[in-house]
Amino acid sequence: MSPIFDWIFAQYQDTPTYLIVLEMVGVLFGFLSVWYSMRENILVFPTGILSTGVFVYILFVFGLLGDMLINAYYFAMSIYGWYIWTRKVDETHFIPITKTTAKERKWIVVLFGSTVLFVVLVYVVFN
């Protein structure tokens, strides 16, 4: 085999085959989720749930608990989003997809800044 091929697939050398297949399934459903999201199709939720659920399991097996928790959060938010999207405003209208407001953007900046500050403080304290 070529050195490039060996380099790309070296990470899977000692990995059980079923985990490799699960990862491929997770990636496929992840791509489908993004595709459905761009089209504002409700199938974004089941495909996202399958993708993140698969990755929660894989990350748990490898002990990557931080990444696992992020995917578990996305899993839970997909369930919540699916529920909200299926609620009707009235008999003919559903809750519309909207853009982020200026107030929400300010909160995003505050949360991001707080997260960066927290990470820097943790790094300084533990190093």
Pair (60, 90) in one structural domain: yes
Q: What tens digit of pLDDT does each residue of 77-99 get? A: 999 989 988 876 666 666 667 78
Residue 99, amino acid: K
Q: What tens digit of pLDDT does each residue of 8-23 get? A: 888 888 889 999 999 9
Pair (18, 69) in one structural domain: yes
Pair (25, 77) in one structural domain: yes
Predicted local confidence at residue 98, as pLDDT: 78
Pair (70, 42) in one structural domain: yes
pTM of this prediction? 0.70
Pair (84, 103) in one structural domain: no
Predicted local confidence at residue 7, as pLDDT: 86
CA distances from 13 to 28, 63, 72 (A): 21, 18, 27
Burial tier of 83 (Cβ tally within 10 Å: 0-12, 13-18, 19+): exposed
Q: Please tell me the total count of domains within the chain.
A: 2
Give residue 15's domain range. Answer: 3-96
Q: Which residue has the higher pLDDT, 8 or 104?
A: 104
Pair (24, 65) in one structural domain: yes
Q: What tens digit of pLDDT does each residue of 42-77 get? A: 899 999 999 999 999 999 999 999 999 999 999 999
Which three-class secondary structure state does DSSP give residue 88?
strand
Pair (37, 49) in one structural domain: yes
Q: Which H or E element spans position 24? A: helix 17-38
Mean of pLDDT values over 21-33: 96
Pair (88, 117) in one structural domain: no
Pair (91, 110) in one structural domain: no
